[in-house]
Amino acid sequence: MAEFFVDRLSLSAPVGYTLAALIQCVLIVALIGVAALLFIWMERKISGRIQDRWGPNRVGGKFGWFQTLADGMKLLTKEDLAPKDAQVILFRLAPYVSFAASFSAYLALPFADGWVIAPMTMGLFFILAVLGLEVFGVILGGYASGSKWSLFGAIRQAAQVVSYEVPLAMCAVVPVFLCGTMDLVAIGEKQAGLFTNWLVFHDPFTFVIFWVYFTCTVASVNRSPFDLPEAESELVAGFLTEYSGLRWSFFFMAEYSSMLLVSGLAAILFFGGWNGPLPIFHCIGWAYQQSETTWRLTGYLANLAGCVNFLAKAVLGVTVMMWVRWTLPRLRIDQVITVCLKYCVPLAAICFVGALMWQTLAWPSPNDLVPVTPAGKAGVREQWVLQQAKNAGRENLVGVSGPATDMPVTDIVVRPLEQEGGEG
Amino acid sequence: MMLLATLDWYSLFFLLFALLTCGFAVGVLFSDNIVHMAFYLTLSLGSCAGLFFLAGAPFVGAMQLMIYVGGTVVLLAFGVMLTANANFSSLRIPRGGWVVSLIVGGLLLVLLLTAALRVESWRTPRDEAVLPLAEVQTATVLGAGLTGVRVDKLHEDDPVTRRGMSGYLLPFVIISVHLLVVLVGAAYMARTRIYRRSASGNPRSRTG
Amino acid sequence: MYLLLAQITVAHYLVVGAVLFVTGVLCMATKRNAIGVLIGIELVLNGANLNFIAFGSKYLRHDTLGFDGQLIALFVIVLAAAEAAVALAIALNFYNNHTTIDVDKAEDLKG
């Protein structure tokens, strides 16, 4: 976008970049705001239906569309209290820490092919790192409230999130290995084509590991059945006990926006990102081809459809999280840790090794049955290391150990690929 | 608008992050509450990650955010748990200690600063135009370096500068084993001892 | 003052690293809380890391350490995490035995 301002509108570079940054910020805030409005309404409707009642149906028409707005208005008019024992500065700061963390994780999340605010080569890593910061606000808030309930909630949150980061990272790293990159845009591109090319259908191990990933994300955004930090039947409201009004709603916004974020991440890592189940836009030739850089309307429309596709997948993920929340009872804290250490970690480890084995030995995947090869930009980065060697114009490499050998570049770098071809 | 156009954005962001880093580090030094200290430490380390991003090391920056900050979460939780019923004010050192340590620290700082500013080549900026930040491609190179292939050294013509191309496979393996040992050792040391009251009423530790 | 106005160089990063280092050392010296000492160590390691990154950055110098700087910084970060785990385990053990984490109370080991 910055390039557009600088090149087309001939603004100076700093002005163009500032404008682009502002516009992108506003877009993300709008997205999070709208998503939170929608999700709160959905949550009420879904919980209502699951509990065999109607849910909101008065405010704003038949389906209670404006229920969230009314709630928001009520929250705005509430008094912003800080308890007597609270450490006021930390107490007031904590919701913003939480919200800022889950907000800045959107920096690296691509919404369609190339539609990402900050294209990073380690986007996935960045998102996981920043998402881990969200727990900070919760701990601070819980500690600074000066209340036993809040403190218990915060400590539970720390234990839970830190332990669930381990299997979460192990799950998220499997698509990285299968695609050979941490760039989320590239991971999405690799899954172009029919839905059989989505990584979740790559082999049985990735199918299992998606569910492990889902469990871990539910735990790390502390949704029920893992919402121990705010277990209202034991801890009043956990770390939220002393909060009211706008600050409370900031915590809530953070929770909903990170739900959307991890669902979007799941969509990219396992469900093909912005690629639909059928590659319609590739077939009619609207989607951008591999080496294409110029802007055209059809390509833009294809990307827009991809964006809608991506958001639909993400919202679907959030809906499943709500479904789970209103179906399963809450676990005890020891059960939560048990699920993590005794089930999720070993399962993730086994599936990790299994998926890698499947890839290395080139065992069949459903995509082999499809005669059509994906027409996307897949396979671009596969040969990156090789290209570097070629660019350097160097025939001989110093081997892994010791002195220079006459081993050609291809022998070192491409051996796994050759094996794959040989045995497959 | 004129101001915006003339600003050096790199310097601006560097100064911002540098001030935050140093300021919160000083905050760590002068606060007594362990939770405040951990909070300041996090902010300081986070701004330092910003400096890493600015210096063209985004992978290390993200690593810093993930590991260090994740580690400080644990620190924070421990700090809260272990000091929940302790008396904070008793954990201060006497005033004389402060004076001495500030003097020594000031001298050390002066020494380090003169050393840093003395070398001419460290003070001269790189003159030609630098690459845009977005083109940094470090994750793959670092990964290849850790597994023993230094892709970034391929371009070197001189065999002397190409030395060390064998990469960091051995240190990587050593550190991996070390981490495993540390993990097991820490878990063993920090395990909960379950005290069981024997018939005589004496607590007896059940090891294991 | 010229440091603030000139173009950013390695020296700027070194100054920040020096400040981090010194605050870390002072933190280790002045805190009686075991976790405070640990926090000081983290600051020291971070100051050193910043120097590695600065010397390895191709934005700041011609003849850089290159990726060696970043790789060593990675090793430092990982080892710091390991060290924090061990130190926390020690602090926890200490707390279990002495019901405090005041390092001045750890005089039992004096011969």
Distance CA(A254)–CA(A101), nearest Å, equals 8
Q: How many CB atoms lie within 10 A of CB A414?
A: 17
Query: What is the reported pLDDT for C20?
Result: 92
pLDDT per position as a tens digit, A144-169: 787 778 888 888 888 888 888 889 88
Distance CA(B92)–CA(B32), nearest Å, equals 8
pLDDT per position as a tens digit, A260-273: 999 999 998 888 88
> Which of A105-114, A189-198, A238-247, A285-294 reaches the highest mean pLDDT?
A105-114
Residue that wins the pLDDT comparison between B8 and A143? A143
With bands split at pLDDT 50, 70 and 90, how would you rate the model's confidence at C4? low
Chains contacting C (3+ CB pairs below 8 angstroms): B
Chains contacting B (3+ CB pairs below 8 angstroms): A, C
Domains of chain C: 14-99 (1.10.287.3510)
Q: What is the DSSP letter of A382?
A: G
Q: In what helix (H) or strand (E) does residue A405 lie, and over which residues does it extend?
A: strand A404-408
Q: How many CB atoms lie within 10 A of CB A251?
A: 21
Contact call for residues A151 and A352 (beta carbons, < 8 A): no
Distance CA(A17)–CA(A40), nearest Å, equals 34
Query: What is the reported pLDDT for C22?
Result: 92
Distance CA(C45)–CA(C61), nearest Å, equals 23
Contact call for residues B146 and C71 (beta carbons, < 8 A): yes
Residue that wins the pLDDT comparison between B67 and B195? B67
Q: What percent of chain A has pLDDT over 90?
A: 4
> Taking CB atoms and an 8 Å cut-off, how many pairs form between chains A and B?
116
SS3 A6: helix
Smallest CA–CA distance, residue A129 to chain B, in Å, is 4
Measure CB to CB from residue A388 to each of B58, B154, B169 and give the nearest one.
B154
Distance CA(A107)–CA(B67), nearest Å, equals 20
Residue A84 clears pLDDT 70, i.e. is over it:
yes
Query: What is the reported pLDDT for B89?
Result: 47
Query: What is the reported pLDDT for B59?
Result: 83
Residue A206 clears pLDDT 80, i.e. is over it:
yes
For chain B, the farthest-separated pair of C-alpha atoms sits apart, in whole angstroms, at 84
**Mean pLDDT value across residues A372-389:** 47
Query: What is the reported pLDDT for B163?
Result: 59
Contact call for residues A248 and A76 (beta carbons, < 8 A): no
With bands split at pLDDT 50, 70 and 90, how would you rate the model's confidence at C1? very low
Q: What is the DSSP letter of B204?
A: E
* Domain B8-120 CATH (choose: 1.20.120.1200, 3.40.50.300, 1.10.760.10, 3.40.190.10): 1.20.120.1200
Which residues on adjacent β-strands are paired with residue A398? Answer: A404
With bands split at pLDDT 50, 70 and 90, how would you rate the model's confidence at A410? very low
Query: What is the reported pLDDT for A300?
Result: 76
Query: What is the reported pLDDT for B127?
Result: 61
Length of chain A, please?
424
Lowest mean pLDDT across A44-58, A376-390, B107-121, C21-35: A376-390
Cα angle A371, A375, A376 (rounded to 5 degrees) comes to 135
Average pLDDT, chain B: 74
Q: What is the DSSP letter of B195?
A: E
Q: What's the token pair of residue A390?
A: 């070629």
Give me the interface pTM, i.e. the ipTM: 0.85
Q: What is the DSSP letter of A112?
A: B
Distance CA(A56)–CA(A75), nearest Å, equals 17
Distance CA(B52)–CA(C69), nearest Å, equals 11
Residue C50 clears pLDDT 80, i.e. is over it:
yes
With bands split at pLDDT 50, 70 and 90, how would you rate the model's confidence at C21? very high
Query: What is the reported pLDDT for A403?
Result: 36
Distance CA(B41)–CA(B96), nearest Å, equals 25
From its phi and psi, is residue A273 left (phi > 0), alpha (psi between -120 and 50) or beta? Answer: left
Contact call for residues A225 and A324 (beta carbons, < 8 A): yes
pLDDT per position as a tens digit, A240-254: 777 877 788 888 888
pLDDT per position as a tens digit, A323-368: 888 888 888 888 888 888 889 999 999 999 988 888 888 777 776 6
B78 to C35: CB separation less than 8 angstroms, yes or no: yes
Q: In what helix (H) or strand (E) does residue A166 lie, and over which residues does it extend?
A: helix A148-179
B140 to A121: CB separation less than 8 angstroms, yes or no: yes
Q: What percent of chain B has pLDDT over 70?
A: 61
Residue that wins the pLDDT comparison between B86 and C76? C76
Measure CB to CB from residue A126 to each of B62, B73, B74 and give the nearest one.
B62
Contact call for residues A89 and A63 (beta carbons, < 8 A): no
SS3 A406: strand
**Mean pLDDT value across residues A128-156:** 81
Helix residue spans in A221-244 (DSSP H)? 232-235
With bands split at pLDDT 50, 70 and 90, how would you rate the model's confidence at A402? very low
**Minimum CA–CA partner of B168 in chain A:** A400
pLDDT per position as a tens digit, B158-198: 666 565 556 778 888 888 899 889 888 888 877 766 655 55
Query: From the candidates A5, A6, A117, A122, which should be mutated to test the interface with B, based on the most B CB atoms within 10 A?
Result: A122
B93 to C78: CB separation less than 8 angstroms, yes or no: no
Residue A422 clears pLDDT 60, i.e. is over it:
no
Q: What's the token pair of residue B134?
A: 């977005």
Residue A19 clears pLDDT 50, i.e. is over it:
yes
Distance CA(A370)–CA(B35), nearest Å, equals 57
Contact call for residues A45 and A56 (beta carbons, < 8 A): yes
Contact status of C100 with chain B (Cβ, < 8 Å): yes
Distance CA(A284)–CA(A262), nearest Å, equals 32
C30 to B34: CB separation less than 8 angstroms, yes or no: no
Residue that wins the pLDDT comparison between A209 and A415? A209
Residue that wins the pLDDT comparison between A288 and B22? B22
A385 to B165: CB separation less than 8 angstroms, yes or no: no
Helix residue spans in A271-369 (DSSP H)? 280-283, 297-325, 333-338, 345-360
Query: What is the reported pLDDT for B152?
Result: 65
**Mean pLDDT value across residues A169-189:** 84
Query: What is the reported pLDDT for A409?
Result: 38
Q: What's the token pair of residue C3?
A: 């440091």
Query: What is the reported pLDDT for C44?
Result: 92
Please give the single-letter amino acid code of residue B154: L
Q: What is the DSSP letter of B194?
A: E
Distance CA(A229)–CA(C81), nearest Å, equals 26
Query: What is the reported pLDDT for A118?
Result: 76
With bands split at pLDDT 50, 70 and 90, how would you rate the model's confidence at A377? very low
The crossing angle, in degrees rounded to 10, of helices A245-270 and A67-77 is 140
Query: From the candidates C50, C64, C70, which should be mutated to test the interface with B, based on the most B CB atoms within 10 A?
Result: C70
Lowest mean pLDDT across A7-11, A362-366, A387-391, C20-24: A387-391
Contact status of A266 with chain B (Cβ, < 8 Å): no
Cα angle A163, B62, A33 (rounded to 5 degrees) comes to 80
Domain ranges of chain B: 8-120, 148-208
pLDDT per position as a tens digit, A278-331: 777 777 767 776 666 666 777 777 778 888 888 899 999 899 988 888 888 888
pLDDT per position as a tens digit, B69-84: 777 667 667 766 666 6
Q: What's the token pair of residue A234?
A: 């034991």
